Amino acid sequence: MSTDDNSQGVAGRRPREEKMKHYGIRALLGAAALATMTAGATPALAEYPVETVRLITHSSPGGGMDVFLREIGKHLGPIMGVNFVVENVTGSGGAAAMAEVVNGAKDGSVFYGATPTHIITSLLSAPPVTYEDLDPVVNFFNDPQTVYVLADSPYNTLNDVVDAAKANPGGVVVAVSTPGSLDRQVMEEFQAVTGTSMVVLTHDGGGDAVLSVLNGTAQVGVSEIAELRGQLDAKAVRILATYTENRVPGIGDVPTAREQGIDLVVSKFRGLVGAKDLPPEVIAAWEDGVAKLMEDPEFRKWYEAEGLENAYMTQAEARVARDEFVTSLKAFFEKFDIK
């Protein structure tokens, strides 16, 4: 892979529109209800057509999207006047979760927390239900990806990992989330860029991947900050690098991969998709509600602490960005002969 400054990896390819520039290549014991807060400072919008909305994720409990949806439900509930329930539908790289939404009611009562995973799975696995059977609703964030190790790991830089992998091909195990996840695909590019060969260990979600690093099954992990927050605060893990253009605030003085000589920039979107042809009033309620949510002081404090970048998009903007992402992803697969 070329290492000039214009090479940013599959997720680093940017749409032309400035507002969309980062849309790139993220329940305990099953389903758990997220009770909406009692009357708060933020007034509710016009009455939503249903009282309870299911937010489906392919992530296992503790995974990035699981954490993300629960936080959204807590803050967005009083704004939209809705009870949000998060359900973990794992398996098949997101295909089972996508099917749950497509086969559900078309009244605004069920949505899927979307990351690049559902598009990657659709293109590589050809499941019965694909991203083309779904429609973007809104986009929320870009979520920085990190490379991390145990606090007492001998690896202090990303190049230490590269050196170890070159000295012992196949000897370094890297934990990632699902087989169709962005982290899994980025590891293919990472190995190509660095000329290394590693064992990439997939899981049902990012939370499970973190456990594999903690118990020593893997020496390195790729994850989002929200999945690592508890372990970072406990000083159980250290972040070696971020796949971002600039350093991420709130996690210490961590250099980017590019600063360490590895030209790989990744941006992982987090959004919401639903069934096609949802009622216009449902889409309008989400666009209005999420626009207000992103300015909520408590919610902003949370997402800024997690290193999340506000990348709010309306449905029309998210559709364009999704299509551009698919084009760049197909080119990535062709370049690295991923089938």
**pLDDT tens track of the chain, all 339 residues?**
333 333 334 444 333 333 433 343 333 222 333 333 333 444 445 689 999 999 999 988 888 899 999 999 999 999 999 999 999 998 777 899 999 999 999 999 999 999 998 998 899 888 999 999 999 999 999 888 999 999 999 999 999 999 999 999 999 999 998 887 888 888 988 999 999 999 999 998 888 999 999 999 999 999 988 889 899 999 999 999 999 999 998 888 999 999 999 999 887 899 999 999 999 999 999 999 999 999 999 999 999 888 888 999 999 999 999 999 999 889 888 887 777
Q: What is the pLDDT of residue 45?
A: 56
β pairing state of 83-88 and 32-34: antiparallel
> Strand 32-34's sheet: what is its strand order?
32-34, 83-88, 52-57, 110-114, 268-275, 134-143, 309-313
Strand order in the sheet with 173-175: 199-201, 173-175, 220-224, 145-150, 237-242
Write out the two tokens for 284: 């309008």
Q: Which domains does the chain have, with CATH numbers?
A: 9-142+268-335 (3.40.190.150), 145-260 (3.40.190.10)
Supply the pTM of this predicted model. Answer: 0.75
Structure confidence at residue 109 (pLDDT): 98
Q: Which of 38, 92, 104 is nearest to 278 (CA)?
A: 104
